[in-house]
Amino acid sequence: MAALVAPAVRPRTAGRAFLLGLVAGLVYFAGTVYWTSGVMARYGGLAMPVAVAIAGLLVAYLALFPALFALGTHLLVARGGAAWIWLAPVVWTASEYGRLRLFGGFPWVLLGYSQVEVLPIAQLASVTGVFGLSLLLATTATALVWPFVARGRSRWVAPAGVAAVVAVIAVWGMARIGDGRLTREGRPLQVGIVQGNVPQDQKWDPEHAGAIFARYLRLTREVMTQGADLVLWPESSTPFSYGRSAETAQLQVLAREHGVPILLGSDYWERDGDAVRVYNAAFLLGPDGQTRGLYRKVRLVPFGEYVPLRSLLFFARPLVQAVSDFSPGTEVNTLPLDGAAVSTAICYEVVYPALIREGVLNGSELLTTITNDAWFGRSSAPWQHFAMASMRAIEQGRYLVRSANTGISGAVDPYGRVLLASELFTTGAWVVPVRLLDGMTVYARVGDVAGWGSSLLTALALGLVARRSAARG
């Protein structure tokens, strides 16, 4: 980060600052979302050169945000003076928040996620969310650059102050984890996690449907006999559409026989006049085998569940034809569980902090997320996805349980400690103890103040220096 702050300040022209930021963004995102080309080539039916080109467009779009950060920081320092470099962390956080909000958003691998395993520092997310962590890291990077920008002995005062703030946060974070009250409060619950490990090219093959369903039933019985109070299946786990096939009745019988609810992912078909809408959905079967709740996925995956700008992507016709055209849900609702409420995020939704917060505000006492990461293969994407999901547990002060078709399935406690993380591409079922919690973190109460506040402050600062510059001219 410091390597990006410094070049943003040094160039003599705004254009060069923008270019340096763009190059940094291209390198960063090419190294983190490289897996998108393989997904589109293998499962979207595209020739590899076309898939690489589309992935390149995504990387180029994402790289615009670091470029805008570099441009904004350069303008502030060039027109306001060296001290304005201390607004660089605010500009950076605003750029990340913009990446979340604009054009549906793609808030993948934000800077703050780098701290998800640095648990004392990561506790700050319970107050500020992941954007507050990004702000802290950007401030630390700015402190490293400041001595090379300022003059005199006083140039070391600000970095020392930032170091002291980081130390205080770390001490507070360790104390919060050590207190551990969230692991003692609330009602205990045993959650069974099922990982079917079904290859993507077999999921909807009728020849494999019977074996897939039998595997899920077997694994579910295993965790039920081990004392599970709730069983979690992955996204789109049923090789049939729930409620539209004979297999649905078998699943309902299983829940009724053991008296254990099952939360599973499947397609949901809904008639709207003459039209039929298809949703990527989650269903909660009660212990009586009846459907107790339904959640329709709100945030769809671009190029996975819908294709943005279809008319412009004529060269990607195989992808357009291969992608399921799902309809988005309209609200984040909770699912009833024996006098409590749980929420679920389907796949990509878990990277949207506000979406998970909305579930908690609606009364969710347990975070669940169901996903199918088979698309990603053995790339770094499943690990990135799991890390981002873990941050949601810290932000909301909730246990989070995750079921993934091919892994990583697992559970995280309210402090971000990983209780279980399965191996990729293994078949298994586990029972993990969690607790139903109803307290509210500061972040749950106030939301993304760090994100929208940084955006507002950036706009005001740029407006001020532009006004000053105009007055001088």
Point out the catalytic residue in the list 96, 203, 235, 358. Answer: 235
What HEC string does the chain produce?
Answer: CHHHHHHHHCCCCHHHHHHHHHHHHHHHHHHHCCHHHHHHHHHCCCCHHHHHHHHHHHHHHHHHHHHHHHHHHHHHHHHHCHHHHHHHHHHHHHHHHHHHHHHHCCCCCCHHHHHCCCHHHHCCHHHHHHHHHHHHHHHHHHHHHHHHHCCCHHHHHHHHHHHHHHHHHHHHHHHHHHHCHHHCCCEEEEEEEEECCCCHHHCCCHHHHHHHHHHHHHHHHHHHHCCCCEEECCCCCCCCCCCCCCHHHHHHHHHHHHCCCEEEEEEEEEEECCEEEEEEEEEEECCCCCEEEEEECCCCCECCCECCCCCCCHHHHHHHHHCCCCCCCCCCCCEEECCEEEEEEEHHHHHCHHHHHHHHHCCCCCEEEEECHHHHCCCCHHHHHHHHHHHHHHHHCCCEEEEECCCCCEEECCCCCEEEECCCCCCEEEEEEEEECCCCCHHHHHCCHHHHHHHHHHHHHHHHHHHHHHHHC
Say if CB 266 and CB 241 are below 8 A apart: yes
pLDDT of residue 312: 59
Residue 167 tokens, joined: 């130390």
Task: Please give the pLDDT value at position 320.
Answer: 46
Where are the chain's structural domains? 2-180+450-472, 186-438
- Catalytic residue status for 117: no
Q: What's the CA gap between 97 and 387, in Å, rounded?
A: 19
Gap between the Cα atoms of 177 and 181, Å rounded: 9
Give the active site residue among 96, 203, 247, 297.
Answer: 297
**Residue 237: other Cβ atoms inside 10 A:** 24
Tokens 């299983």 — which residue?
Answer: 254
Round to whole Å and give the CA distance between 269 and 172: 49
Would you state the pLDDT for residue 398? Answer: 98
Q: pTM of the predicted model, to two decimals?
A: 0.94
* pLDDT tens for each residue of the chain, 473 residues long: 655 666 666 667 889 999 999 999 999 999 999 999 988 887 777 788 888 998 999 999 999 999 999 999 999 998 888 899 999 999 999 999 999 998 878 999 999 999 999 999 999 999 999 999 999 999 999 999 999 888 877 789 999 999 999 999 999 999 999 999 999 999 999 999 999 999 887 877 888 889 999 999 999 999 999 999 999 999 999 888 888 788 899 999 999 999 999 999 999 988 877 788 889 999 999 999 999 999 999 998 876 676 666 555 555 545 544 456 788 999 999 999 999 999 999 999 999 999 999 999 999 999 999 999 998 989 999 999 999 999 999 999 999 999 999 999 999 999 999 999 999 999 999 999 999 999 999 999 999 999 999 999 999 999 999 888 777 76
The pLDDT value recorded for residue 313 is: 58
347 labelled catalytic? yes
The pLDDT assigned to 149 comes to 83
How far is Cα 347 from Cα 234, in angstroms, rounded to an integer?
9
- The residue count of the chain comes to 473
- In this prediction, residue 324 carries a pLDDT of 60
What CATH number does the domain located at 186-438 have?
Answer: 3.60.110.10
Distance separating alpha carbons of residues 274 and 271, to the nearest angstrom: 7
From 203, 305, 347, 358, active-site residue: 347
HSE-CB for 101 with a 13 A CA cutoff: 11
pLDDT score for 47: 84
In the prediction, which pLDDT does 321 show? 46
Q: What is the pLDDT of residue 241?
A: 85
358 labelled catalytic: no
Q: What are phi and psi for residue 273, nearest 5 degrees?
A: 70, -125
**Would you state the pLDDT for residue 148?**
85
